[in-house]
Structures are given as C-alpha cells and as structure tokens.
Amino acid sequence: MYHNYLLISPAKMEAKFTGDAVISTVSYGGAGEVSKSVAVIACTVMAILYVAILYAPTLILRLPPSDSFQSYMIRRFICAGVSSVFSLIACSLILPIQWGKSHFSDVYGIRLDHIWQAVIFPLTLTSLMYAGTLILKLLLLLDSAQEDRENGRSLSLDIIKNAFHEFIESISSMASNISAWRNYFVAPLTEELVFRACMIPLLLCGGFGTYKVVFLCPIFFSLAHLNHLLEYAQRSGSWLKALMTVGFQVGYTVIFGSYASFLFVRTGHLTAPLVAHIFCNYMGLPVIISRRTGMITVASVAGLLGFIWLLFPLTSPHLYNATTDNCMCWHRYCSWS
C-alpha cells in the first residue's frame, strides 16, 4: 500500500539480558538505527496530533458546529481515522523496514495468523480481573430467576426465547448507537493503532528496554485523555473536581495502557490488546467490594491471583508466532521467552 520504505541491509540481532529486561541490539549495516530522541519526539507528536486533530473541523477548517451529537461524533471518527493513517505512514518512514522481507502490516501487528489465540487467551486473561463483576452479574441473574419463580413464572421455553430476543434487541440497539461505536470500535481501534502499533515499534527500535517501553508508552496514551480537563471543568463548575476526575482517568489509562503494551510486545499481535481494550470498555471498572456479599471480594482476589499466575503462560510468544527467527528490532517477543 505504501512504498516509502527505508531500504536497509539484513539485520543482525544480538539479544542480551540486562536486569529487568531483554534488550535487542540491532545492526543495520549501512543504515542507522532509530535514535531515542527521534522515537520520543515522534511518539509525542502522534499523541498531540491524536487529540489536536479532533478540534480541526471548527478551529482550522472553520466548519460550523455540528447540529447533532451523531454528526459531532462522526466528525471525530473521521479525525481519529486521519490521525491513525498519518501515524502509520510516519512510522513507515522512520522505522528501518526492509522492503521485500517485512510485510507492512506485520510491523504493526496487523495479522490474521494465530487469530483465535490472539482473541481467546487475552480475553480469558483480562476476564480474570473482572471475576468479582462477573460473579455479581451471575447473582443478579439468579435473583431475577428466583423472583420469576415467586411470581409463578417457572423457567420455560418461552422465557428462554424472550431472553434471547431481548439479547438480540440489545445488540441491534448497540449497533445503531453512535456512543457504542465510539466505545467499542472507533476508540479502541484508533488508539491501539496509534499508541500500540505505531509507538511501541518506534520505542523498541529506539533502543529502549522492554519494560521501559511497557511503562513509557502508556504515558503518551494518558496524554491523549488530558483534553477532557476543560470539558469536565465547564460541566462541573469546579477545577478541583475536574482535576480529580481527570487524575483518576489518567491513572486508570496508565494501568490499562501498561497491560495493553505488555500484550502487544509479548504477542506481536495487535488483536490481543484490541480485544482486551474492547472488553474493558464494555465492562467498565471492575467491582472489587460489594455490600451484597463478601463473595465478590473473594472472587476478585482469586481472579487477581489467577491473572498474575497466568500472565506469562497465556502470553507466551510461541502461542502467537510460528517462528521467532529472523526478527527485526520491533519483534521484541523473539528474545522475551
């Protein structure tokens, strides 16, 4: 699709363990590596652009304000898409991509191979953090069934059919809901493309250590959420409340961003953090404590322990890649077993 590649000679990779991370030292023959300063500047520009372009229709193009929430969101969808495409092209110009030996999409983890592993394993791992929430939903469902029995409505085929129809209707209404498109499709996809697929290869090829990249990339991710500060201040009428809200949001995005970055680096598959992102957006914040029963807390603790126990086994690079040979600098999973 894009032909502006930086042609280089075959890379020679040497992996060396340094304390908490495996760092790949890459030699590109006559071509220079991506410097740390270039990588950081590029990531910063991408983060700023991702937010700034949302205001381009009114501030730069001088378009009139949207006449509806739907048209307002569609404008934002287009802006986010433009920002994502720009970031992908910019990375293709900066990264030492070897034309003819590296598929353009593979650089960004956009792959169809090992797709079911990239969906099932990360989804299973992420759901463990919502063990308390899932148990609470199950208890509410059992309460509803108990209430039906008390009202003389026993479990029957008609009730199951009605529940199924209600589920289908909820999916249909979600498909026509512009906010649902933002939360479960456009925002996860564009954010993962920019803040994972583009930034992580740049930072890895810039020579940053594995764990430094995992924890540095979410900082750029959190910057993209600071634009809500003015919005919250105007809505609440208090800068203190706005700062507390945005501070909590930034903290949450740093935690989730670290997890998503970990998934991307470990698997080399963009689908892994993408499905985790969509699932977390759908579930919201995990329920840890409930006045209803202590079972919720027990389930949350058990889920957390299970998450920690399975974190590395379920993200083993060998589950998501047929080979870990002939890797480039953005393939850090090759040396992170």
Active-site positions? 191, 225
Helix (H, G, I), strand (E, B) or coil at 17: strand
Per 3-state DSSP, what percentage of the chain is helix, strand, and coil (rounded to 5)?
65, 5, 30
Per the CB < 8 A criterion, the answer to whether 217 and 261 are in contact is yes
- Closest Cα to residue 178, out of 272, 285, 66? 66
d(CA 194, CA 224): 11
User: Tokens for 240?
Assistant: 């203190």
Whether 96 and 328 have beta carbons less than 8 Å apart is answered as yes
Q: Is 232 helix (H, G, I), strand (E, B) or coil?
A: helix
Strand (E) positions, 28-135?
none
What distance in Å separates the CA atoms of residue 319 and residue 271, rounded to the nearest whole number? 13
Which DSSP string do the residues of 311-327 spell out, in sequence order?
Answer: TTGGG-HHHH-S--SS-
From the CA atom positions of the chain, what is the Rg in Å?
23
- d(CA 289, CA 133) in angstroms, rounded, equals 9
Q: Label residues 103-121 b or e (16+ Cβ within 10 Å = b).
A: eeebbbbbbeebeebbbeb
Q: Dihedral sign, CA of 39, 42, 45, 49?
A: negative
> Any idea which residue has 């008390």 for tokens?
150
Which pair of tokens denotes residue 204?
């890895």
Angle of CA points 130, 135, 138, to nearest 5°: 130
Distance separating alpha carbons of residues 82 and 47, to the nearest angstrom: 13
